Structure 1
Amino acid sequence: MRTGYEPVQARSALRTRRWLALWGLVWAAGGTALFVLVDRPGWAAACAAVAAVAAVDLAVVVRHIHQGPHYQPGPDVPPYPPPDGPRHR
């Protein structure tokens, strides 16, 4: 439901996020392999952790892309009234 403050046509840049997650996954996996080869287990573990986070993010983004667009109420749906009291910025 709209709160009245967000843009009516707001969309997430899922395709950009997918490419950034893929880029991070490739570099982190490459870093993991490189640090394993030069016998630096701490750095390899750190890169593996970043690769795991990037892989999970990539899976979530791909799932959201496959779900397709969701229902967005139109301008005829009234927004919530603003809360009473002073506005905080």
Structure 2
Amino acid sequence: MRTGNEPATARSPLRLRFWLSMWGLVWAAAGTVLFSLAGRPGWAAACGVVAVLAAVDVAVVARHIHQGPHYQPGRDIPPYEPPHR
């Protein structure tokens, strides 16, 4: 919802979130493999859960980036007034 006080140059943080999720996915996958090789199944499972969560986040963010920008009204459209109660 547009409130009218957004900066004119506001940008989406999706690309930063994508790369941070990729970083987490790489480290969690490496942790899963290394803890499995070290015989620590609990830590390997914990890293595996984090890796799955990071992979889901990467997929969601990639989908949002692929959708592209959504329609935003221009400067000539006044902001929405909040409901007065």
Give the TM-score normalised by structure 2.
0.85
**Unaligned ranges ≥5, structure 1:** none
Task: Give, in angstroms, the shift of residue 6 of structure 1.
Answer: 2.5
| CA positional deviation for 1:63 | 0.4
SS of 2:63 mapped into structure 1: helix
Q: Offset at 1:84?
A: 5.7
Query: SS of the residue aligned with 1:52?
Result: helix
Distance 1:51 1:30, change over 3 A: same
Give yes or no for contact 1:3–1:80 (8 Å, CA) kept in 2: yes
Partner of 2:16: 16
Which digits, 9 at most, give the CA deviation of each residue in 1:28-52, with x for residues without a partner?
Answer: 0000000111111110111011101
Residue of structure 1 in register with 2:57 after alignment: 57
Please state how far the C-alpha of 1:19 moved relative to its aligned partner. Answer: 1.2
Structure 2 CA distance, aligned partners of 1:82 and 1:4? 11
| 1:81 aligned partner | 81
Comparing 44-53 with 12-21, greater Cα deviation is found at 12-21
Partners of 2:72 and 2:49 in 1: how far apart?
36
Unaligned runs of 5+ in 2: none
Instruction: Work out the number of aligned pairs and report it.
Output: 85
Q: Which 4+ runs in 1 deviate beyond 6 A?
A: none
AA paired with 1:24? G
In 1, the alpha carbon distance for the partners of 2:60 and 2:8 equals: 24
Corresponding residue of 2:69: 69
- Displacement after TM superposition at 1:82 (Å): 5.2
Counterpart AA for 2:14: L
Q: CA RMSD in A?
A: 1.8
